[in-house]
Amino acid sequence: MTRMDEQGKSPRGHLKKYFLTGLLVITPIWGTVLILKTLFLTVDSILGNVLARVVPAGYYVPGLGIITLLVLIFTTGLLATNIIGGQIVKLWEELLQRVPVVRGIYSTLKSMTDILSFQEKERYNRVVLIQFPKNGHYCFAFVTGMTHGEVQEVSNGPLLNVYVPTSPNPTSGYFLLVPESEVVPLDMSVEEAMKLIVSGGLYSPVPAPAVVSAKGAHVPSRPGVEVPIA
């Protein structure tokens, strides 16, 4: 018979536990190294071939393409933040929007960078919970503004514009008009909510303190999500 320790696990069980733990630690580290290595070699080869023709023989070193890319990105950002550079970027975007095929590609990539980099965080100023796709099922949503005009006039109460991102790709989702009374506000930041959505729930924000419901019941909080008791 297999000997058991005080915790009720056999040596084989311990070996399996250690192996799985090591695998979970090494996999993301090794994956990160491979991605960075591939990115480095790809970018350096693209710009490096150009620089090799310009830089005198004997002065080119591996990695010069990466340095050039960083300088290019920094210079572009510096120029885009002033008035003249901003106008140039605006004209360039308007030009790309007029080209049929390029317009779709550029719009998709632009929306992805805007959302994932949180450069337009003010558009998603609040993280809330709504019941979607049906009552009793909660999901994260970002409040993007108040509803105005004809739609608001026919509603019995205030409506909020909310964006419900899909997981793990938050660049696609649903635009909903939700009654403000049915929205559950959260203290979670946009970054934490986005990380939780992209990871499919694997990312766990720091748990908040327990809350007390309206009925006085003690409700233990869950990481990032607090659903009040009806």
CATH number of the domain bearing residue 184: 2.30.30
Predicted pLDDT of residue 218? 44
Residue range(s) defining the domain that contains residue 187: 121-219
Categorize the per-residue pLDDT at 151 as very low, low, confident or very high, splitting at 50, 70 and 90: confident
- Is residue 198 domain-resident? yes
Cβ pair 114, 120 in contact under 8 A: yes
Cβ pair 86, 80 in contact under 8 A: yes
Count other Cβ atoms within 10 Å, centred on residue 174. 13
- Is residue 110 domain-resident? no
Q: Say what the pTM is.
A: 0.45
- Is residue 104 domain-resident? no
| pLDDT tens string 157-169 | 889 999 998 888 7
The helix or strand, by DSSP H or E, that contains position 40, with its residue range, turns out to be helix 11-54
Q: Residue written as tokens 């009374």? A: 181
How many structural domains are present in the chain? 1
- Is residue 96 domain-resident? no
Predicted pLDDT of residue 176? 92
Categorize the per-residue pLDDT at 8 as very low, low, confident or very high, splitting at 50, 70 and 90: low
| Average of per-residue pLDDT across 109-134 | 70
- Is residue 160 domain-resident? yes
Predicted pLDDT of residue 116? 54
| Average of per-residue pLDDT across 74-86 | 79
Predicted pLDDT of residue 7? 55
- Is residue 207 domain-resident? yes
